[in-house]
Amino acid sequence: MNTALSRSWQHAVVTGGAGFVGSHLCTALLDSGAAVTCVDDFSTGRPENISALLERPGFTLVRANVAEPFTVDRPPDLVLHFASPASPADYLRLPLHTMETGSLGTRNALTLAQRSQARFLLASTSEVYGDPQQHPQNERYWGNVNPVGPRSVYDEAKRFGEALTTAQADAHGTDTAIVRLFNTYGPRMRGYDGRAVPTFIRQALAGEPLTVTGDGRQTRSLCYVDDTVRGILAAAANGLRGPVNIGNPAEITMLELARLVIELTGSHSEIRYIERPTDDPAVRCPDITLARDKLEWEPRVAAEQGLRRTISWFRTQADAGI
């Protein structure tokens, strides 16, 4: 079996490489000895996420919207398609861009991989399961998605991307993989991106009330970004087409998360309940049997440890006035 440690890459292209997960992927690939081309239009990615990489040998930045045809300096042997608004605040602000990135952007990234005879990996999401009626969710579950709800621009863009990736592999023999990422968190998240972890940390550090939606009993499964990156690279190195869930099966309610953040930050913030968003999933938990069996992967970082690291990063950002 090929693993992330036994298969090396000469040149990887990471679309959305200036984003949260994408920038961590760029770093990991550079550390492994690969040359990396980051393609990003900075609609949601941030220059500071990759500023430290700009001076590193082998790193190239291409500023481009992947929904339009783009080129890179030399053929890659790995294409990782991570370009997409990924937080509710972003995809609700950029609905058409989100759908174009998931459709035209996926098509353009697949074309690059096909022409270069490269391995292609699509970053999909647990959101393809919608508000699931199966719990935990395994890869055979088709999901419960509202195709015209406010979250549909992201959910359906990812579902279409999966279908397009599968069709490309079937029609042209492109070497493809699909990973479904569950609730990744860690340094480089934006405090105002609308997701629970950065929102709670930002509020707690500022002494503001932590805004828990609904009654707080809805669950998520938090996977620290280092674990997620390991899973992604394991899927890339393996011949598995997927889809394969990459996430942490340790479930936590939003109320429990809020209380844990208050405890770990030493904040005196209170909890305030606000209206729950439309189509907000009641539960979210991956079945990672496939990842364990085929990729020999599972998460290593417990929630408290990962949250401490993330809180420390947010404190440093606040102290620097960022």
What is the CA 99 to chain-centroid distance, rounded? 16
Q: What is the pLDDT of residue 5?
A: 42
Q: What is the pLDDT of residue 4?
A: 43
Task: Tell me whether strands 219-221 and 251-253 are parallel, antiparallel or unpaired.
Answer: antiparallel
φ and ψ of 176, to 5 deg: -125, 160
Instruction: Domain 11-319: give its CATH code.
Output: 3.40.50.720
Q: How far is residue 43's CA from residue 98's CA, in Å, rounded to a whole number?
A: 10
Answer for the pair 81, 37: CB distance below 8 angstroms, yes or no. Answer: no
154 catalytic, yes or no? yes
pTM of the model: 0.94
Rg for the chain, CA atoms, rounded:
19
Under-70 pLDDT residues of the chain: 1-6, 321-322
Q: Please, which contacts does 50-56 make with residues 24 or more away whose CB atoms are closer than 8 Å?
A: 50/17, 50/18, 50/23, 50/26, 53/23, 53/26, 53/27, 56/30
Q: Decide: residue 274, CB within 10 A, 0-12 exposed, 13-18 middle, 19+ buried.
A: exposed
Q: What is the pLDDT of residue 281?
A: 86
- Which residues lie closer than 8 Å to 284 by C-beta, 6 or more apart? 126, 129, 132, 137, 182, 183, 219, 220, 221, 251
Q: How far is residue 210's CA from residue 181's CA, in Å, rounded to a whole number?
A: 25
Q: How far is residue 79's CA from residue 29's CA, in Å, rounded to a whole number?
A: 12
Q: Residue 281, preceding bond cis, omega within 30 degrees?
A: no
Q: How far is residue 238's CA from residue 224's CA, in Å, rounded to a whole number?
A: 21
Domain spans of the chain? Answer: 11-319
Q: Report helix, strand or coil for 118.
A: coil
Answer for the pair 13, 62: CB distance below 8 angstroms, yes or no. Answer: no
Q: What is the pLDDT of residue 36?
A: 98
A 10 A CB-CB count for 273 gives: 14
Residues 15, 71, 98, 322, CA torsion sign: positive
Per-residue DSSP letter, 223: E
Residues 18, 22, 25, 30, CA torsion sign: negative
Q: How far is residue 70's CA from residue 54's CA, in Å, rounded to a whole number?
A: 20
Q: What is the pLDDT of residue 321?
A: 66
Q: Report helix, strand or coil for 271.
A: strand
Among the listed residues 154, 185, 192, 273, the single catalytic one is 154
DSSP string, 289-311: HHIIIII-------HHHHHHHHH
